[in-house]
């Protein structure tokens, strides 16, 4: 079974945005893969962690999409926080920007997900045009 952790909250702390992992299904192992995908059924972006056997998944729910917008617009450092641990998310901004560009106007992700992304990330998408 693949490990899936959810991020439902976060805070901006100076030049960082701390995305807080609320409940950890299993201790996060591995290291940031620098890759991001989507889970359109769950309306979330998913950051991947390289692990010995495959990937671990960190789901970014709609609740933290405004912080994701801030990360890109204000060039902040994205970090996940769980317990006393902090892990910088390499290539987060680049991966998210690439996904946003691919999702805009593309209902292959599902109409509900595409519409939600276009609305939440409008400030970024307008800048990309």
| pLDDT for res 2 | 55
The arrangement of strands across the sheet holding 77-82 comes to 31-39, 44-51, 54-60, 4-13, 16-21, 77-82, 85-88
- Digits of tens for pLDDT over the chain (129 positions)? 355 788 999 999 899 999 998 765 555 678 999 999 999 999 999 999 998 888 889 999 999 999 999 999 999 999 998 878 899 999 999 999 999 999 999 989 999 999 999 999 999 999 876
CA neighbor of 28 nearest in space, from 62, 64, 52 = 52
């Amino acid at each position: 079974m693949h490990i899936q952790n959810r991020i439902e909250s976060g805070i901006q702390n100076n030049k960082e945005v701390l995305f807080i992992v609320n409940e950890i299904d299993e201790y996060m192992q591995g290291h940031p893969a620098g890759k991001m995908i989507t889970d359109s059924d769950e309306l979330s972006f998913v950051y991947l962690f390289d692990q010995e056997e495959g990937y671990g998944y960190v789901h970014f729910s709609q609740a933290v999409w405004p912080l994701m917008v801030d990360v890109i617009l204000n060039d902040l450092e994205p970090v996940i926080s769980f317990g006393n641990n902090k892990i910088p998310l390499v290539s987060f901004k680049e991966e998210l920007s690439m996904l946003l560009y691919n999702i805009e106007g593309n209902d292959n992700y599902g109409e509900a997900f595409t519409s939600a992304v276009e609305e939440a990330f409008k400030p970024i998408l307008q800048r990309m045009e």
